[in-house]
Structure 1
Amino acid sequence: MKKLTVLLAATALSGTAMAADPWDGRDDLPTSPLACDGTPATVAAKDYDGGQPTGAPDLSGQDITLIDVPKLVGIGYFAATTEGMRQAAEELGNVNVTTDGPTEANIDDQITFIDNYITQGVNGVLFAANDPVAIAPVLKRALGEGIHVVGYDANSEPDAREWFVNQAEFNGIGKALIDAMAAEIGEDGKFAIVTSTFTTPNQARWIAEMQDYQEACFPNMEWLETVEAQEDNILSFNQANTLINKYGDDLDGIFGMTSVATPASAEAVTQAGVCGDTAVVGLATPNAMKPYVASGCVKSVVLWNPVDLGYAAVYATRAVVDGNLAPGSTSVEAGRLGTLQVVNGSEILLGAPFVYTADNIDDFDF
């Protein structure tokens, strides 16, 4: 069977039809897999389930200072969200936002950064969580100090923040990933996954939705293994290379669940000389994938725009401070992005993913 190498960036199962084997990489929350035939889902209204700050000062229209603490700094994805935040702050004119955080995706270090900025005094905390449960206490401390808290990219427990800007709905990403892999390796192909950690919330959500959608729609596909790579480029490459060597011809495809793991997996496939035999499907930023798209080893990249994600997070925070985004709101105005919808009680949906191909990928620089 001829296989093409593709990347789907929009944002794992063990054993055929995921029998009773233990599953690594998903969370244990309920899923809502989309229909196999693409029938749109019906979304039920949900009450606001976020937290609220205690005694937050009235700073409507006044200058505010925000600190952004992503999973880690020094990678293209979060450099792009930072740029979006800068653009929003410049447009608004009354927001000062600074990005600071750990150089590795370590939840303990992330907590320390947030804790230090709470002590120093800020008006708002933006975050992308490395662990939804472990980060909750320090975010609740921020709320208790009257500091506004808004998440993006990777959520916390809902009551530990006011709002979460969701880049795309998890079941939509899960369906898109599985559909792309099935199109490339066939409905009985075998694949593995390279993720960050088994507790990283957005990846765990995507994987859970992927698993349940795959079981329902492509039951003959076989998920071989899930491995962690800590959002580290060298480790991601080594993990992908190990999968290639371990499974040989049985490995029809690799999912990369992070903006680090996907290009590293594409590089491992390239160096192993199996480009065109082992598909790469996953999440990444355009700049990281341009060499693989140019070589023809990767055909398309599907991803939300992380610049827009950071931009939306700042606009949402400004709206919260100004009283324009509150429990019960159904939408929020976000500058050039227009009106963004509130879903799932306290989430703001950025919108549909964007598809990068050889025809347009050079138009983007992040």
Structure 2
Amino acid sequence: MKRTKLVTMMALVLTLIMMITGCGSKAEEPAAQPAATPAAEDKDTSSEEPKASDDAQKSAADREPYKIGIVVKQMGAPYFDYAAEGAKKAAKDYNAEIISYTGPSSEDVNQEITFIEDLITQGADAILVSTADSTAIIPTINKAMEAGVAVFTFDIDSPDSDRLFCVTAGNSEESGAAIGESLVKLVEEKGQVALLTGGLGSETLNRRLDAIKGVLSKYPDIEVVATEACDDNFEKCVSQVENLIQTYPDLKAVAGVSSVNPPAAAMAIQSANKTGQIMSIGIGMPSQCSEYIDAGVIPELTLWDPGVMGYDAVAAAVNYMDTGKLPQNNEDYGEYGGKLIVEDNGTVGYIPSIIFTKENVHDYDF
């Protein structure tokens, strides 16, 4: 009897074990997968573009600092001093080293060529150039590119060279047309005006000049009496405007397309006691022009932040060396650098322009 009960109990235990094992096996079977959608079936992932996060990009901290050389068209000019500050900040943020920030004391493309060739010899990874002559610099830029140096231009472009990208301010035609329209309004569509520029070899400045002339050509009662180039030399520009004032006693306004022009013209106008009779406008720095804006010699001024330009140029060069990619539209360089405007996937990026008047000129420190 006892034996029968024992056998019966063992049989029950064995049956329970088999049931438990069967349930476990059923749980381990893979769940049925839903049928693939036609889109999923047809998708070929072998040729997908990698996402930005998948790029083989080294973090700045994991590589040696890039060596960057910067050549500007005029050392000592406040405009380029501010650009240098922005460039140095970007170099710190992006793990790069500015091995040289140099240029001639007055515009001289031959000296710029020598500086660029020296940087090639020094083993620069990238060179940033703001040139006095967009055409004469071409062979040297191309030589640097052939040597494996990443060449970017900033402020003043050399579009026919092999340079990779240019970081500059508002489209030359747009900024020139804006100055022309302001000039027309200020002189009330009639009278004698003079135009000023930095160097006649600069394609950017020439395009800006042409845009001003294009606007003025629509007003037959406005006479352009002269176009003067000062090679971005402040004293030379002051002297030129003094001569214009003496030569054209009915002169009503002077418009300049280089940042040297408006303050130099304003100084000459004040010295000749012509405040209120002759106006100075154009591209200029608030720090150099605020006193003349307050005095009414310069009614308005146009510029961009040269520090942002220097920052974005360095950031663009470093990003290119890290990823092999040039800036795209709305490329974001953070709180300081802001966003670049790149039209039609081109090779020129614009930073925004600012209009300065009595109301806001003291809000800026460059």
For the pair shown, which has the larger CA radius of gyration, 1 or 2?
2
Could you tell me which amino acid in structure 1 is paired with residue 290 of structure 2?
Answer: K
Aligned counterpart, 1:198: 200
The alignment status of 1:143 with 2:142, answered yes or no, reads no
Aligned counterpart, 1:230: 231
How far residue 60 of structure 1 moved from its aligned partner, in angstroms, is: 7.2
Query: Alpha-carbon deviations, 1:170-198, whole Å to 9, x = none?
Result: 12111110111111111122211122221
Query: Do 1:182 and 1:189's aligned partners in 2 also have CA atoms closer than 8 Å?
Result: no
Question: Relative to structure 1, is the Cα distance of residues 303 and 339 closer, same or farther in structure 2, using a 3 angstrom cutoff?
Answer: closer
Q: Aligned equivalents of 2:109 and 2:363: distance in 1?
A: 34
Could you tell me which amino acid in structure 1 is paired with residue 319 of structure 2?
Answer: A
Query: Do 2:255 and 2:282's aligned partners in 1 also have CA atoms closer than 8 Å?
Result: yes
Aligned counterpart, 1:347: 348
Equivalent runs, 1:68-79 vs 2, <5 Å: 68-79=70-81
Q: What SS does structure 2 have at the residue aligned with 1:160?
A: coil
Query: Do 1:181 and 1:279's aligned partners in 2 also have CA atoms closer than 8 Å?
Result: no
Where do 5+ consecutive residues of structure 2 fail to align?
Answer: 1-56
Query: Do 1:153 and 1:167's aligned partners in 2 also have CA atoms closer than 8 Å?
Result: yes
Query: Do 2:177 and 2:208's aligned partners in 1 also have CA atoms closer than 8 Å?
Result: no
Question: After the TM superposition, which of the residue ranges 257-266 and 103-112 deviates more from structure 2?
Answer: 257-266
Where do 5+ consecutive residues of structure 1 fail to align?
Answer: 1-57
Question: After the TM superposition, which of the residue ranges 205-214 and 238-247 deviates more from structure 2?
Answer: 205-214
Q: TM-score, normalised by structure 2?
A: 0.79
Aligned counterpart, 1:37: none
Aligned counterpart, 1:332: 331
Query: Do 2:179 and 2:212's aligned partners in 1 also have CA atoms closer than 8 Å?
Result: yes
Aligned counterpart, 2:3: none
Question: Relative to structure 1, is the Cα distance of residues 207 and 60 closer, same or farther in structure 2, using a 3 angstrom cutoff?
Answer: farther
How far residue 324 of structure 1 moved from its aligned partner, in angstroms, is: 5.7
Query: Alpha-carbon deviations, 1:303-346, whole Å to 9, x = none?
Result: 1111111111111111211226339x445332224432322621
Identity of aligned residues (%): 27
Query: Do 2:316 and 2:326's aligned partners in 1 also have CA atoms closer than 8 Å?
Result: no
Query: Do 1:129 and 1:201's aligned partners in 2 also have CA atoms closer than 8 Å?
Result: no
How far residue 299 of structure 1 moved from its aligned partner, in angstroms, is: 2.7
Could you tell me which amino acid in structure 2 is paired with residue 333 of structure 1?
Answer: D
Question: Relative to structure 1, is the Cα distance of residues 271 and 265 closer, same or farther in structure 2, using a 3 angstrom cutoff?
Answer: same
Aligned counterpart, 1:268: 268
Equivalent runs, 1:288-299 vs 2, <5 Å: 288-299=288-299
Could you tell me which amino acid in structure 1 is paired with residue 315 of structure 2?
Answer: Y
Q: Aligned equivalents of 1:159 and 1:306: distance in 2?
A: 23
Q: Aligned equivalents of 1:247 and 1:332: distance in 2?
A: 47
Could you tell me which amino acid in structure 2 is paired with residue 243 of structure 1?
Answer: L
Q: Please, which of 103, 116, 120 is the counterpart of residue 114 of structure 1? A: 116
Aligned counterpart, 2:356: 356
Q: Aligned equivalents of 2:67 and 2:92: distance in 1?
A: 13
Q: Aligned equivalents of 2:322 and 2:187: distance in 1?
A: 50
Question: Relative to structure 1, is the Cα distance of residues 313 and 132 closer, same or farther in structure 2, using a 3 angstrom cutoff?
Answer: same
Q: Aligned equivalents of 1:288 and 1:310: distance in 2?
A: 19
Could you tell me which amino acid in structure 2 is paired with residue 275 of structure 1?
Answer: T
